[in-house]
Amino acid sequence: MRREVGVAVIGTGFMGKAHALAYRAVPYAFPDAAQPRLVAVADINEAAARGAQAQFGFERATRDWRTLLDDPAIQAISITTPCSLHKEMALAAIAAGKHVHCEKPIAPSAADALAMMEAAQAAGVVTQTGYNYIKNPLLELARSMIAAGELGDITSFRGVHAEDYMADPEIPYNWRVDPENGAGALAEIGNHIIGLSRFLLGPIVEVNAQLETVNRTRPVAPGAQARRDVHVDDIARMIVKFGRGCSGSIEANWAATGRKMQLEFEVFGTRGALVFSQERLNELHYYRVGDDARTSGFTRIEAGPAHPPYSNFTVAGGHQLGFNDLKTMEMAGFLNAIESGTPAHANFHEAWEIQRVVDAAIRSSIEMRRVTI
Amino acid sequence: MRREVGVAVIGTGFMGKAHALAYRAVPYAFPDAAQPRLVAVADINEAAARGAQAQFGFERATRDWRTLLDDPAIQAISITTPCSLHKEMALAAIAAGKHVHCEKPIAPSAADALAMMEAAQAAGVVTQTGYNYIKNPLLELARSMIAAGELGDITSFRGVHAEDYMADPEIPYNWRVDPENGAGALAEIGNHIIGLSRFLLGPIVEVNAQLETVNRTRPVAPGAQARRDVHVDDIARMIVKFGRGCSGSIEANWAATGRKMQLEFEVFGTRGALVFSQERLNELHYYRVGDDARTSGFTRIEAGPAHPPYSNFTVAGGHQLGFNDLKTMEMAGFLNAIESGTPAHANFHEAWEIQRVVDAAIRSSIEMRRVTI
Amino acid sequence: MRREVGVAVIGTGFMGKAHALAYRAVPYAFPDAAQPRLVAVADINEAAARGAQAQFGFERATRDWRTLLDDPAIQAISITTPCSLHKEMALAAIAAGKHVHCEKPIAPSAADALAMMEAAQAAGVVTQTGYNYIKNPLLELARSMIAAGELGDITSFRGVHAEDYMADPEIPYNWRVDPENGAGALAEIGNHIIGLSRFLLGPIVEVNAQLETVNRTRPVAPGAQARRDVHVDDIARMIVKFGRGCSGSIEANWAATGRKMQLEFEVFGTRGALVFSQERLNELHYYRVGDDARTSGFTRIEAGPAHPPYSNFTVAGGHQLGFNDLKTMEMAGFLNAIESGTPAHANFHEAWEIQRVVDAAIRSSIEMRRVTI
Amino acid sequence: MRREVGVAVIGTGFMGKAHALAYRAVPYAFPDAAQPRLVAVADINEAAARGAQAQFGFERATRDWRTLLDDPAIQAISITTPCSLHKEMALAAIAAGKHVHCEKPIAPSAADALAMMEAAQAAGVVTQTGYNYIKNPLLELARSMIAAGELGDITSFRGVHAEDYMADPEIPYNWRVDPENGAGALAEIGNHIIGLSRFLLGPIVEVNAQLETVNRTRPVAPGAQARRDVHVDDIARMIVKFGRGCSGSIEANWAATGRKMQLEFEVFGTRGALVFSQERLNELHYYRVGDDARTSGFTRIEAGPAHPPYSNFTVAGGHQLGFNDLKTMEMAGFLNAIESGTPAHANFHEAWEIQRVVDAAIRSSIEMRRVTI
């Protein structure tokens, strides 16, 4: 019989809802996985907590996340609050013996991430961080092709995560630009492309970065005349070295006018290349050295049954996965890891490694030099 | 308080599972919609029924779909069996006062569809047929732009639904090529592009069609030497006239090597044009007459919050919907129609109109003439 | 030593200039080909003739094309005037023993085309018609792959030539819509896609067509109130059978808002498929059956040195050919055929076959039946 | 009457032929421009010189480029030899009062480029360097939109020039990797993307670069066992600041497996964005802030008559330009500048500025610090 895992979610915003939605979808897409029991949802805004309870069928709602800690029905806690709150919540949850899923960025600093990771290791709990995009079956294909040497020796990586949701200088000062939550675009979406590069190629060991604040002031409130200085980056540009030996470039940019989800990469090897953009998440482009010159080129691979766990969602090729399906895969992996006592991915160790790159990039930018990690 | 609608699903194949998955997702994506209670699942294969019960949490499973008819907890029945079984099941469900969702094609013939439609009208039950692709928010945008005259007078439509799942001549003879289920590619996927053309432009009133069987024999069983003649079409090509005055072409092809989901159209008007392919279901391309010649062209619209109900699935643009999300929208619409007593879309009336086009196309092909509908 | 071929061009419009430009480019792109000597240019508008003489360096200009006929320095004549004038000019040129390149459509009717072809055959002169797009090295690749069986048995063809240069109903009545020049969009651009289908798959033997006039009246002059009825098609839709056994559909549409050069096709076979659009003329997309399911898909082939005569224009891949380069290839082929005494392609025989399809389509549309060719 | 400019070309390789081809095309595409008279071609390989003479119709051929210097029929000299020879040839030509077109990179070092620029200025001759891609009418559109403020304040630039022609480690050691010709990929194709960024946004004033040699040895000759160390870069990655205030990233990579012409950029501004790739040189993608959210997105602009001098090549939209057409535009501009006595673009001053970026990038990479230019 399938084990049930009691779960709670802290936070009811974009990611809080995405977690709840994904937990709800796990039983149907992954009937053989451990199954979530939605015990509780917490939000400092009590109405929001009750709204999420009603929408997603949590057994209870609370405005005090601390009440989750001693609830024996809860084995796992999803933390989806702003980054500045992650450490306190995660440490408390770990101390209470809970498994923890914490959204990215895991913490405003690598030091905090390390503390969280070490606490979790000491407590023996399962951890996961929300690098949902890497759950894409086509990216698992990419990772496995690279690992199997199908691209030969990797010679170069080029990664970008660019969106435009902070491009408008009249967006008021908010938690996204509060340094308490870490860097700006670098922390928020740079995290994804750094994490994706790590997923494909392994850890980064050196970074040469320049961070830039394009919108240097923002209104203190919507429509306000008064403005407040912004101290976090809108754009981060990095030249990086991977431990495996190759180098690459990475850009994070949340002021990229017109771009809604330009999370993309190109990876080149001696025997092939892969090109991907989250703008078309059901496609991966593959070039193979040695094909007949008449007919060689980049092949557009469409996600399908050859790419597990695609078929858990729809048995026929061409039907396409959506963002929420990726999140469902992620949560199923978390629950399975809890059940089996094996590590989930990306876990706090991996998140800490990613955060070390973020920290090193900040230091590199300030000190105007390459920083070894 | 939200009304609950007791539902049952007949069939546990691709579409049976898609219905169950979608019913399960409705409460979370559409918390304000009427909510499904998954009462029962039926499959002639009892193990399959029990498997679906376990996976999706139906209250009971049965190998006899007739036991659903007098179950007062069931208000609505999803019929996802092969087409040849639709009429008997739908008429029985309607006679029992159930609302009916029946997968497409609704019936092997327009006469059967008409009987189903008339029975439903007489009984006053809500009906729906599974034209799930038209639930795409970008296609609702397309429809509304056309209706509002943003493209001017429509001058031409070009539609295709091509896949390759029946391209291999060694796929054994199966229910898909059994004429009891109606025509072949025309019925199975032609239905979708005919339905999509109707959704955008209204009914077709004349058809000039040629059906073709490319794979004229198939093995009687996997790997068998013996072969059986195939009498349904692999490809249907049509020239059509719409009641609104414009004309177009439509192709259905399930032997289109390499194509996994080429459900696509181009619609041209005097003031603009739209181009869409289900291969990239989160994109719609729009050309507007009168823009500055220097910078005019087709604009790639990405699905986002400006396209309801996109935000019911994810609040941020660029995150993308998947196939199952479309199905969830469809089932939410069905449940809401039941609750409000208003028609769902596409309903049996619309499905009958589509089936009339299918029938007319077959007749046109046989009689080698244009057929008025 | 390379033989020189004295050439004359009749007409100085779009195509007249394209011929002159191409003749001028031949020596440099095809130094081993027979070389043109630009003897004369003729245009009823003498100033236009003189302008072209000056621009392209013809030895003389004339307003009377008949003066070309007895000029012994001229071995070949390019006819680029409106279609209604082709027959008279071509027959006169042939009678004078000149080799003839005549722009498409070769004639307003197949009967005229036949007369022209027979006269040329009797006179033993080389002929060519301006199906320039088929000179694309990637289309030669497509043709050769089909001929070599690399796509297996061809099961379906879908072809379109759609542009929007006649979409605006306020474009005045002009020679393009004068029935003396043959049908409308069908004759003018349908010719290209019919010719392309022939190039790839061989002759069409049956057609089922519907022609449609969308803009039924046009101003008699720019800005005029008075309007004149239009009797030629804006859109032609065809279902066709090829002599080789497969079927397909073809559309010609010069009212396709937003489209500038949608000359495209998809051809499906049992072992592969090819997809092409002139909108991206340096790309051909190829799907091969039997590739590893994990990594199969359509491969985007980019024109390069593996595709002769690409390297005659630029030795490095990725640099791309333009329209005028295609025309240069065409004229080089014409000159070489003259030198070697072998047929050029497409020649009048092929153009006549294409025109027979046009005629059959018109008859099919009027008589509302399938027409055998 | 149009002035004639006597020209000579040194070198008969890829670029030598491209120059000759372009000179030959100028009269027909730009009849109102100054016209070239192809006086002489020089190549140290006499057979090559004679071959080019025959192919392109130069009046004479020589193996000694110095004989061009005192030929009064020659007003302008195209230098298309390897970079290490540029300075000597250019200075001699300038000293002889010739106008000089020199292929890029203009010189192995900025110091050499400066000497060449200063000599030209002192002599009052017209200069040009072969940044042919920027002649694309769509890039002129991009430049003018940026200049006119249509994108608002520019916030970010991302540029790449990646190809794979040096990816194979078995390509023998050759002039491309000889440091006498300057850096490797940075000098050869980095030049193009640096030049393009300059064309669009103005000069770069700071660079933070890392150069990398991926293929550290190469065979001394085709198939040889013996290998020779390579000291130039295969990949150069840069973070740059522009004098106008914005920043960006630039990559040059000639080991990018599968890429044939990935010369591309994205430029983001507060009011819009532009995206371009030379892989589809007839398309430019434009996003405009403020458009209706329902229908906004990147618009694919196709090159056409609205983008001069497109119509000099073909009067109808959608027909597409090729690489040689860009080169023709470049040479026409050179000849016109000579005739009018105005600067050509890109001239030696601009080439020197670009070369300063190259030099600064090399220094930055070696010294591991940001370098101000």
Per-residue 3-state assignment (H helix, E strand, C coil) for chain B: CCCEEEEEEECCCHHHHHHHHHHHHHHHHCCCCCEEEEEEEECCCHHHHHHHHHHHCCCEEECCHHHHCCCCCCCEEEECCCHHHHHHHHHHHHHCCCEEEECCCCCCCHHHHHHHHHHHHHHCCCEEECCHHHHCHHHHHHHHHHHCCCCCCEEEEEEEEECCCCCCCCCCCCHHHCHHHCCCHHHHHHHHHHHHHHHHHCCEEEEEEEEECCCCEEECCCCCCCEEECCCCCEEEEEEEECCCCEEEEEEECCCCCCCCEEEEEEEECCEEEEEEHHHCCEEEEEECCCCCCCCCEEEEECCCCCCCHHHCCCCCCCCCCHHHHHHHHHHHHHHHHHHCCCCCCCHHHHHHHHHHHHHHHHHHHHCCCEEC
Q: Kindly state the percentage of chain A with pLDDT values over 90.
A: 97
Partner-chain residue, chosen from B286, B293, B294, that has the shortest CB–CB distance to D295: B286
**What is the average pLDDT across D248-265?**
98
Asked if the Cβ–Cβ distance from A261 to B318 is below 8 Å, we say yes
Specify which residues B219 forms β-bridges with: B227
Considering only alpha carbons, which residue of chain D is nearest residue C56?
A: D28
In the predicted model, is pLDDT for residue D1 greater than 80?
A: no
Contacts of C54 in chain D (CB under 8 A): 31
Q: What are phi and psi of B94, to 5 degrees?
A: -60, -45
Triad B238, B244, B247: Cα angle to 5°? 30
Asked if C305 and C315 touch (Cβ cutoff 8 Å), the reply is: yes
Q: Which residues form the domain of D66?
A: 4-132
Residue of C163, C168, C211, C257 for testing the chain B interface, max B β-carbons within 10 Å: C257
Determine the Cα–Cα distance for residues B145 and B147; give it in Å rounded to an integer: 5
Number of other CB atoms surrounding residue B213 within 10 Å: 17
Residue of B261, B299, B324 for testing the chain A interface, max A β-carbons within 10 Å: B324
Residue of C15, C311, C323 for testing the chain D interface, max D β-carbons within 10 Å: C323
Please say which residue of D132, D148, D166 terminates a domain.
Answer: D132
For the stretch D175-210, pLDDT in tens is: 999 998 888 999 999 999 999 999 999 999 999 999
Per-residue tokens: A244: 């495996």
Determine the Cα–Cα distance for residues C89 and C78; give it in Å rounded to an integer: 10
> Residue C251: helix, strand or coil by DSSP?
strand
In the predicted model, is pLDDT for residue B1 greater than 50?
A: no
Please say which residue of C79, C112, C132 terminates a domain.
Answer: C132
Partner-chain residue, chosen from B293, B301, B305, that has the shortest CB–CB distance to D295: B301
Predicted confidence at residue C1, as pLDDT, reads 46
**What is the average pLDDT across C321-332?**
97
Whose tokens are 């392609």? That residue is C345
Q: Is there a cis peptide before residue D309, judged by omega within 30 degrees of 0? A: yes
Determine the Cα–Cα distance for residues A239 and A262; give it in Å rounded to an integer: 19
Q: Both C146 and C280 in a single domain?
A: yes
Determine the Cα–Cα distance for residues D187 and D110; give it in Å rounded to an integer: 11
Contacts of C167 in chain B (CB under 8 A): 155, 268, 270
Sorted by sequence, the CB contacts under 8 Å of residue C97 that are 6+ apart come out as C123, C125
Asked if B14 and B82 touch (Cβ cutoff 8 Å), the reply is: no
Residue D318 within a domain: yes
Considering only alpha carbons, which residue of chain B is nearest residue C286?
A: B258
pTM more than 0.95: yes
Asked if the Cβ–Cβ distance from C251 to B253 is below 8 Å, we say no
For the stretch D127-181, pLDDT in tens is: 999 999 999 999 999 999 999 999 999 999 999 999 999 999 999 999 999 998 8
Whose tokens are 């990398």? That residue is D212
The number of domains in chain C is 2
Q: Both A128 and A138 in a single domain?
A: no
> Residue D184: helix, strand or coil by DSSP?
coil
Q: Both C81 and C111 in a single domain?
A: yes
Asked if the Cβ–Cβ distance from C270 to B167 is below 8 Å, we say yes
Determine the Cα–Cα distance for residues A25 and A37; give it in Å rounded to an integer: 12
Q: Would you give the DSSP letter of residue D373?
A: -
Smallest Cα distance from A272 to chain D, Å: 6
Smallest Cα distance from A280 to chain B, Å: 7
Q: Both C151 and C89 in a single domain?
A: no
Sorted by sequence, the CB contacts under 8 Å of residue D273 that are 6+ apart come out as A256, A257, A258, A259, D151, D266, D267, D286, D287, D298
Considering only alpha carbons, which residue of chain B is nearest residue A32?
A: B55
Contacts of A280 in chain C (CB under 8 A): none
Asked if D52 and D19 touch (Cβ cutoff 8 Å), the reply is: no
**What is the average pLDDT across C342-367?**
97
In the predicted model, is pLDDT for residue B30 greater than 90?
A: yes
Partner-chain residue, chosen from D27, D165, D281, that has the shortest CB–CB distance to C320: D281
Per-residue tokens: B18: 């898609």
**What is the average pLDDT across B79-90?**
96
Smallest Cα distance from A118 to chain B, Å: 33
Smallest Cα distance from B96 to chain A, Å: 29
A155: amino acid identity, one letter: T
Measure CA B248 to chain center: 20
Determine the Cα–Cα distance for residues C208 and A145; give it in Å rounded to an integer: 49
Give one word for C186, left, alpha or beta, with left for phi > 0 and alpha for psi -120 to 50.
alpha
Asked if D39 and D99 touch (Cβ cutoff 8 Å), the reply is: no
Specify which residues C262 forms β-bridges with: C162
Residue of B206, B268, B295, B372 for testing the chain C interface, max C β-carbons within 10 Å: B268
Pairing of strands D298-302, D283-288: antiparallel
Predicted confidence at residue C330, as pLDDT, reads 98
Chains A and C form CB pairs within 8 A to the count of 48
Contacts of C286 in chain A (CB under 8 A): 295, 297
- Can you give the CATH number for the domain in which B57 is found? 3.40.50.720
Determine the Cα–Cα distance for residues B6 and B102; give it in Å rounded to an integer: 16
Q: Is there a cis peptide before residue A222, judged by omega within 30 degrees of 0? A: no
Residue D339 within a domain: no
Asked if B21 and B33 touch (Cβ cutoff 8 Å), the reply is: no
Predicted confidence at residue A33, as pLDDT, reads 86
Contacts of B325 in chain A (CB under 8 A): 322, 324
For the stretch A38-84, pLDDT in tens is: 999 999 999 999 999 999 999 999 999 999 999 999 999 999 999 99
Q: Both D128 and D198 in a single domain?
A: no
Contacts of A17 in chain B (CB under 8 A): 315
Q: Both B164 and B245 in a single domain?
A: yes
Smallest Cα distance from A249 to chain B, Å: 23
CA atoms within 13 A on the CB side of B311: 7
In the predicted model, is pLDDT for residue D10 greater than 60?
A: yes
Partner-chain residue, chosen from D29, D57, D261, that has the shortest CB–CB distance to C319: D261
For the stretch D39-88, pLDDT in tens is: 999 999 999 999 999 999 999 999 999 999 999 999 999 999 999 999 99
Determine the Cα–Cα distance for residues B259 and B252; give it in Å rounded to an integer: 12
Q: Kindly state the percentage of chain C with pLDDT values over 90.
A: 97
Predicted confidence at residue D182, as pLDDT, reads 87
For the stretch B187-239, pLDDT in tens is: 999 999 999 999 999 999 999 999 999 999 999 999 899 999 999 999 999 99
Per-residue tokens: D357: 């970026």
Considering only alpha carbons, which residue of chain C is nearest residue D1?
A: C54
What is the overall mean pLDDT for chain B? 96
Q: What are phi and psi of D193, to 5 degrees?
A: -75, -30
Residue-wise DSSP of D292-310: -TTT-SEEEEEP-TTSTTG
Determine the Cα–Cα distance for residues A223 and D101; give it in Å rounded to an integer: 55
Residue positions counted in chain B? 373
First to last CA, chain B: 45
Q: Kindly state the percentage of chain A with pLDDT values over 70.
A: 99
Partner-chain residue, chosen from A293, A297, A306, that has the shortest CB–CB distance to C299: A297
Q: Both B221 and B282 in a single domain?
A: yes
Asked if the Cβ–Cβ distance from C55 to D21 is below 8 Å, we say no
For the stretch C37-84, pLDDT in tens is: 999 999 999 999 999 999 999 999 999 999 999 999 999 999 999 999
Q: What are phi and psi of B344, to 5 degrees?
A: -85, 170
Q: Which pLDDT band holds residue A3 (cuts at 50, 70, 90)?
A: confident
In the predicted model, is pLDDT for residue A173 greater than 80?
A: yes
Asked if the Cβ–Cβ distance from A306 to C297 is below 8 Å, we say no
Determine the Cα–Cα distance for residues B311 and B41; give it in Å rounded to an integer: 31
Asked if the Cβ–Cβ distance from A294 to C302 is below 8 Å, we say no
Contacts of D248 in chain A (CB under 8 A): 237
For the stretch D266-293, pLDDT in tens is: 999 999 999 999 999 999 999 999 999 9
Partner-chain residue, chosen from C155, C255, C259, that has the shortest CB–CB distance to B255: C155
Determine the Cα–Cα distance for residues A261 and A163; give it in Å rounded to an integer: 6
In the predicted model, is pLDDT for residue A171 greater than 90?
A: yes
Q: Both A150 and A221 in a single domain?
A: yes
Q: Both A120 and A147 in a single domain?
A: no
Considering only alpha carbons, which residue of chain A is nearest residue D367?
A: A369
Per-residue tokens: D314: 């073909």
Could you report the predicted ipTM of this complex, rounded to two decimals?
Answer: 0.96
Give one word for A297, left, alpha or beta, with left for phi > 0 and alpha for psi -120 to 50.
left
Q: Both A141 and A256 in a single domain?
A: yes
Asked if the Cβ–Cβ distance from D141 to B294 is below 8 Å, we say yes
Predicted confidence at residue A2, as pLDDT, reads 59
Residue of A295, A296, A298, A310 for testing the chain C interface, max C β-carbons within 10 Å: A295
Considering only alpha carbons, which residue of chain D is nearest residue C162?
A: D318
Number of other CB atoms surrounding residue D359 within 10 Å: 23
Q: Which pLDDT band holds residue D3 (cuts at 50, 70, 90)?
A: confident
Asked if the Cβ–Cβ distance from B289 to C257 is below 8 Å, we say yes
Contacts of B248 in chain C (CB under 8 A): 237
Pairing of strands B247-253, B235-242: antiparallel
What is the overall mean pLDDT for chain C? 96
Asked if the Cβ–Cβ distance from D313 to C324 is below 8 Å, we say yes
Residue of C141, C295, C302 for testing the chain A interface, max A β-carbons within 10 Å: C295
Q: What are phi and psi of B250, to 5 degrees?
A: -140, 135
In the predicted model, is pLDDT for residue A261 greater than 50?
A: yes
Determine the Cα–Cα distance for residues A152 and A274; give it in Å rounded to an integer: 12
Q: Both A49 and A187 in a single domain?
A: no
Predicted confidence at residue D2, as pLDDT, reads 59
Residue of C146, C276, C287, C294 for testing the chain A interface, max A β-carbons within 10 Å: C294
- Can you give the CATH number for the domain in which A169 is found? 3.30.360.10
Predicted confidence at residue C214, as pLDDT, reads 97
Asked if the Cβ–Cβ distance from B258 to C249 is below 8 Å, we say no
Asked if C8 and C39 touch (Cβ cutoff 8 Å), the reply is: yes
Smallest Cα distance from D283 to chain B, Å: 10
Asked if D89 and D78 touch (Cβ cutoff 8 Å), the reply is: no
Predicted confidence at residue B155, as pLDDT, reads 98
Give one word for A217, left, alpha or beta, with left for phi > 0 and alpha for psi -120 to 50.
beta
Asked if A358 and A191 touch (Cβ cutoff 8 Å), the reply is: yes
Asked if B46 and B52 touch (Cβ cutoff 8 Å), the reply is: no
**What is the average pLDDT across B69-91?**
97
In the predicted model, is pLDDT for residue D328 greater than 80?
A: yes
For the stretch A104-142, pLDDT in tens is: 999 999 999 999 999 999 999 999 999 999 999 999 999
Predicted confidence at residue C2, as pLDDT, reads 59
Asked if C273 and C267 touch (Cβ cutoff 8 Å), the reply is: yes
Per-residue tokens: B125: 């039950």
Predicted confidence at residue D181, as pLDDT, reads 87
Partner-chain residue, chosen from D56, D57, D324, that has the shortest CB–CB distance to C313: D324
Partner-chain residue, chosen from C28, C320, C322, that has the shortest CB–CB distance to D24: C28
Contacts of B295 in chain D (CB under 8 A): 141, 145, 286, 288, 299, 301
Smallest Cα distance from D264 to chain C, Å: 13
Asked if C55 and D27 touch (Cβ cutoff 8 Å), the reply is: yes
Please say which residue of D67, D101, D132 terminates a domain.
Answer: D132
Asked if the Cβ–Cβ distance from C300 to A304 is below 8 Å, we say no
Partner-chain residue, chosen from A28, A316, A320, that has the shortest CB–CB distance to B21: A28
For the stretch D28-39, pLDDT in tens is: 999 988 999 999
Q: Both B149 and B22 in a single domain?
A: no
